[in-house]
Chain A
C-alpha cells in the first residue's frame, strides 16, 4: 500500500518536469502495462478453478451482495450528479 502511494507521488512530482516526448512514451508504456496487468489478473482468475467448479452458496451470496452493494453506490452517486449539475 505504502509502495504504491510513494510510486504515485514520485511519478506525480517527476511528471511536473516531464516533456511531451516523455509523456508520450509514458502513455505507451502505460497501455502495455495495464494490458499486462489485466492479462495476469485473467490468468490468476483462470487458476482459481474452484470458482468455476462452484464452491457453493457462499460464492453466490458474495457475488450477489457485491452486485447489490455496487448498484447502491452507483445509484446514489448518480443522484448526486443529477442534483448538482446545473
Chain B
C-alpha cells in the first residue's frame, strides 16, 4: 500500500521538474488494457456468480452509493448557497466525467460542465492516490464507494491491490451498474425542475 503512495509522490516530484507542455496522457490508454488484462487473468479463479450469490446485499451498493452522493451534494449546495441542480449533477456523476460533462455542458454551459468534470476527476484521483488512507479510515468498501463508475476500469487495479481479490467482483458490479445508470440519472436530473 505504501508502494503506491511513494510511486505517486515520486511521480509528482518528477512531473514538477519536467517541461509543462509535455503531454504524457497518451500512456494511460496503453497501460490500462494491459493492467485490466492482468486483473482479468487473476480473476479467472474467482467464482463471480458465486460471489454475487453470497453477497446479494452488494447489489444495493451502487444504488446507496449514488443516493448518498446525491443527498450530500444537495446538503452541500444548500449550505453554500449554490445552484442545487448543477451541484447535484456534479455529485451524481459518480466519477464518470466524460459523457456526463458533455451532457451538462450542452444544457447548462461550460462552467457547469467543467465543475462536473473537475469534481469527478478529483474523485477518480482520490481512489487511485488515497486508496490506502481511505481503507484505513473508512474500511475496504469505501474505495469502491468513492470510485463509483470507475471501479470497473481505471480504479479496479488499485482496488484489487488495496482491498484484495474478494472485492474485485463487487467493484465490477458497482462500476457496471453505475456506468450504465449514471447517464440516465444525469439526463433525468437535467430534465427535472427543482
Contacts and interface: CB of A to CB of B under 8 A. Distances in A.
B8 A38 contact: yes
B142 interface: yes
B36 to A, nearest CB: 4
Interface in A33-60: 33-47, 49, 58-59
A76 B13 CA distance: 36
Interface string B47-83: 0000000000100110011111111110110001010
Interface residues of B, number: 85
Contacts of A64: 76
B87 A65 contact: yes
A17 B41 CA distance: 9
Majority-rule SS of A interface residues: helix
Contacts of A78: 138-139, 141-142
Contacts, number: 259
A9 B115 CA distance: 33
A15 B40 contact: yes
Contact of A11 (B41, B118, B148): B41
Interface in A1-46: 1, 3-18, 22-23, 26-27, 29-31, 33-46
A84 B125 contact: no
Majority-rule SS of B interface residues: helix
Nearest to B138: A74
A43 B16 CA distance: 7
Given A43-B11, A43-B24, A18 B65 contact: no
Interface of A: 1, 3-18, 22-23, 26-27, 29-31, 33-47, 49, 58-59, 61-66, 68-81, 84
Top-6 shortest CB links A-B: A15-B44, A46-B15, A11-B40, A42-B11, A72-B72, A76-B68
